[in-house]
């Protein structure tokens, strides 16, 4: 009955990474378990194709990857002179970008929301648009990029304390915008071309990208943490019942609630809140804050 299939000697002795696989269950096992427990005579789903279960299971894995599972994807590079980093193959969205210093401490890099990489139109001396022989508009090759992006890359830092805009209004306004009050540098993600562009003060630094994927990139990734296993079953069941004809809407509504509850439970469990750690943080509640 036990779920461990290999001996302790084999597990500890072979040195095959990653260890700790027991905390996960593979998507194939989730699909097989679902079929055994939920599909069949006198069960909530009498008959269904495996392709349907697989579809909803994979969609569930995607959805839970975005906001429930722990993300352990990260990539470290040294920023090249081009000041850009290619988005990872399985990139869906970033969690944060940091650069690490000589002590290995990470400094968060913030996004530059007020820049972009627009398509740059080639104009003649009079400012008129230019066209090729087929009448198509001539634009700068994507490898060159736009003037806006070039200017962004060439800036040294984004810090409010030295912001010229603020110097202009000195004496008429006070205070700084906290989102710019840092000198770690900034980045801009060009989703169209799949690059992350950095400001020039990060050149040569070690940059770490922490990101989320949808857990469907490779077969090895298709696994679910056991704390979210029930959420997966409930998600699949609800999705199947919700897309079927002639299913009592009360049943669908019940499973919708069960799914939400199971996902909420999974989120709480996976947020890894430990009493001792919280206590330690709260011990700082009486600390004097100097102004």
Query: Which residues form the interface with other proteins (CB under 8 A)?
Result: 28, 41, 49-51, 54-55, 58-59, 216, 219
- Cis amide leading into 182 (omega within 30): no
For other proteins, give the closer residue by CB, 61 or 87.
Answer: 61
The bridge status of strand 186-190 relative to strand 106-111 is: parallel
> Please, which residues have CB within 8 angstroms of residue 246's CB and are 6 or more apart in sequence?
none
Reading the block at residue 261, the tokens are: 């509850």
CB 53, min distance to other proteins, A: 10
Nearer to other proteins, 58 or 142 (CB): 58
Query: Smallest gap, in angstroms, from Cβ of residue 216 to other proteins?
Result: 8
Is-contact 212 92, C-beta < 8 A? Answer: yes
Tell the smallest beta-carbon distance from residue 245 to other proteins (Å): 17
Q: Distance from first CA to last CA of the chain, Å, rounded?
A: 62
Task: Give SS3 for 39.
Answer: strand
Q: Which is nearer to other proteins, 35 or 269 (CB)?
A: 35
What is the smallest separation between the CB atom of 24 and other proteins, expressed in angstroms? 16
Q: Which is nearer to other proteins, 59 or 210 (CB)?
A: 59
Q: Which is nearer to other proteins, 50 or 70 (CB)?
A: 50
Q: Where are the beta strands (DSSP E) in the chain?
A: 24-26, 73-78, 84-86, 93-100, 106-111, 186-190, 195-198, 206-212, 223-225
Min dist CB 223 to other proteins, Å, is 13
């Amino acid at each position: 009955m036990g779920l461990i299939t290999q001996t302790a000697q084999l597990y500890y002795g072979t040195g095959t990474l990653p260890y700790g696989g027991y905390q996960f269950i593979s998507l194939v096992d989730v699909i097989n378990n679902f079929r055994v427990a939920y599909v069949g005579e006198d069960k909530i789903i009498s008959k269904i194709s495996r392709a349907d279960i697989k579809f909803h299971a994979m969609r569930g894995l995607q959805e839970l990857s975005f906001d429930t599972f722990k993300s352990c994807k990260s990539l470290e590079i040294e920023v090249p002179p081009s000041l850009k980093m290619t988005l990872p193959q399985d990139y869906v969205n970033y969690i944060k970008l940091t650069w690490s210093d000589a002590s290995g401490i990470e400094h968060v890099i913030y996004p530059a929301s007020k820049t972009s990489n627009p398509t740059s139109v080639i104009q003649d001396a009079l400012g008129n648009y230019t066209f090729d022989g087929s009448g198509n508009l001539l634009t700068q090759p994507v490898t060159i990029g736009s003037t806006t992006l070039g200017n962004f890359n060439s800036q040294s830092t984004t810090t409010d304390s030295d912001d010229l805009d603020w110097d202009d209004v000195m004496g008429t306004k006070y205070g700084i915008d906290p989102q710019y009050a840092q000198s770690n540098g900034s980045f801009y993600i060009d989703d169209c071309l799949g690059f992350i562009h950095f400001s020039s003060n990060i050149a040569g630094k070690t940059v770490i990208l922490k990101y989320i994927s949808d857990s469907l990139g490779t077969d090895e990734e298709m696994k679910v943490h056991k704390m979210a296993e029930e959420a997966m079953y409930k998600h699949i069941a609800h999705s199947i019942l919700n897309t079927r004809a002639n299913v009592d809407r009360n049943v669908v509504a019940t499973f919708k609630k069960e799914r939400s509850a199971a996902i909420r439970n999974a989120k709480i469990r996976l947020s890894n809140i430990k009493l001792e750690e919280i206590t330690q943080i709260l011990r700082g509640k009486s600390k004097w804050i100097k102004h």
